[in-house]
Homo-oligomer: A and B are copies of this chain.
Amino acid sequence: MLPPNLSYAQFRNALRELASIVGESNVISSDNELNDYADPFGPGPQSGPRAQRFSASAAILPASVDHIREILRVARRYHLPLWPVSTGRNFAYGGAAPRLSGSIVVDLKRMNRVLEVDETLAYALVEPGVTYFDLYQHLREHGIKLWIDPPAAGWGSVVGNTLERGFGYTPYGDHAAMQCGMEVVLASGDVVRTGMGGIEIGKSWQLYKPGFGPSYDAMFMQSNFGIVTKLGIALMPRPQAYRLAHLRFREEADLAAIIDTLRPLKLDETIRNHAVVEGAVRFAAGVSSRAQWYEGEGAMPESAIAAMVKRLDIGRWNLRFGLYGAEEIVDAQFAITKRAFSGVKGMRIEAVRYAGGEVPEGGADRNMAGVPAMSAFRMLDWRGGAGAHVDFSPICPFTGSDAMRQYSVAKARMAEYGFDYYGGFTAGTRHLHHIVAMIFDRGNPQQTEAAYDLLRVLISDARAAGYGEYRTHLAYMDLAAAQYDFNDGALLRFSEAIKDALDPDGVLAPGKSGIWPRVWRSRRGYT
């Protein structure tokens, strides 16, 4: 695999120059080692004309901002497309793999310093290689009474997850919103610090995001406008106490009432964390495997789901949320929430109150207590074989009718393709992240292709109903971006005007989020 438009000799020369920057051992170009940079869950045909390949030609591991600037100099000269990743754990959306095959992955995992933690003002400043486990460990080792907010899988990069607008399960679950201050290397090699970071001896870089004048942090998210090398993130002071609640609901149709009950509690901040409403299958996948419940063809029938729900004593829908603060506040909030949800017939509620320093058992509960875990990966065993998944991730207005509509359409369409509805809703304030996973066995070509086709259909169904994706797999970035087509695609036109101004050589992540620099624009829509 070569970078597009480069001869083998040119590529070899480019790699030699890159190696002179970071050292031979930090340039990876053997097929074997490059496997680490392939999409581990790649859906779609693996061969033939429709084959989905998002393959790197090489990977390079800089250790510093200066390394990155020198890499960019070489890239601009050779017109090398680069694909920066923090640590590349963007599983289900492409992992570390580049959108444009032949790109060189710039893997920032060696830049892994926790640069600062301020316990008083409750923030951290980290480099891209710092994982949630690393940051958690750092706080524990130094006896710092701050919580992190881990996403479902704790092995990912804090910077990477935040830039992709990932989310977690404590009151600091909106990672992009909790971000404050960045250092960014532009395609030109220029280094910008956003917000108050413009003041060199400043004291407020991680305290007040906007700074003076236009604010740019949000335009470096899900974007290809720069390489983020430092990022500030707010951390939650350890609460005096917290209470984790688990509610089980009986009927499929309860979803609407659950959402409509939850909304006012989120709006008035009785519940401040990212409450999660999970379907039965997703809940069951944490504690069992599919074969225990159903081995027939196609999606699990209602009868099998009903039997599973009964046997596991789980809900048809399951709501988890946490309350955090002084004991008396947490108790009063719990009473309010319990009263509210008692309106849904058949609801059962369990809740445990912990002291702030206690750590609960069980991955999902640990996540709600700011403890990173990897238990989310149990889902990969649900269907057996080489478990993989891709995710359909539309934004859903926070109403019961919208949630029911998205759920019903997705479930029916998934059944058509032989997939169980495996999903749930994560509660923002006015929106829900509806996350639907298509689990498949990568060893099974039929399932792998079906997941790919199904994902496209789900995205199209959603768009027809007025819903859009917040994030998507490499294979559908162009499709998702094209759906934002107000005024003949003015938003994408705007993005590409900025892209061309900042990166005239088109070296940074061509195709990311559907944004193509002028020199690679003809690749739009091709994989």
Contacts and interface: CB of A to CB of B under 8 A. Distances in A.
Interface of A: 120-123, 165, 171, 176-177, 180, 186, 190-194, 196-204, 206-223, 225, 234, 236-237, 239, 263-264, 267-270, 272, 324-326, 328-329, 332-333, 335-336, 395-399, 402, 428-431, 463, 466-472, 480-481, 483-487, 490-495, 497-498, 500-502, 513-515
Contacts of A219: 214-216, 218-219
Contacts of A207: 395, 397-398, 428, 430-431
Contact of A213 (B211, B466, B490, B514): B514
Residue among A193, A202, A466 with the most chain B CB within 10 A?
A202
Q: Which of A221, A397, A469 has the most CB of B within 10 A?
A: A397
Nearest to A184: B494
Contact of A326 (B209, B332, B396): B332
B513 A212 contact: yes
Contacts of A472: 212
A470 B333 contact: no
B497 A502 contact: yes
B399 A120 contact: yes
B211 A215 contact: no
Given A208-B470, A430-B207, A501-B500, A198 B326 contact: no
Contact of A494 (B121, B216, B480): B216
What are the nearest 4 A-B pairs in CB distance? A198-B484, A501-B501, A213-B513, A215-B218
Given A198-B468, A199-B484, A498-B501, A214 B223 contact: yes
B213 A494 contact: no
A196 B487 contact: no
Contact of A192 (B190, B494, B500, B501): B494
Given A121-B398, A329-B332, A468-B204, A486 B193 contact: yes
A57 to B, nearest CB: 25
Nearest to A177: B177
Contacts of A336: 326, 329
Contact of A198 (B216, B431, B485): B485
Contact of A264 (B190, B237, B270, B494): B237
B487 A497 contact: no
23 contacts: A123-B430, A177-B177, A190-B493, A192-B490, A197-B486, A198-B485, A199-B466, A199-B483, A200-B486, A202-B466, A202-B468, A206-B430, A207-B395, A207-B428, A208-B431, A208-B470, A211-B484, A216-B218, A216-B219, A216-B494, A237-B268, A268-B326, A498-B501
Contacts of A491: 192-194, 198, 211, 213
Given A198-B484, A467-B202, A239 B268 contact: yes
Contact of A212 (B210, B484, B498): B484
Given A332-B332, A487-B190, A495 B214 contact: yes
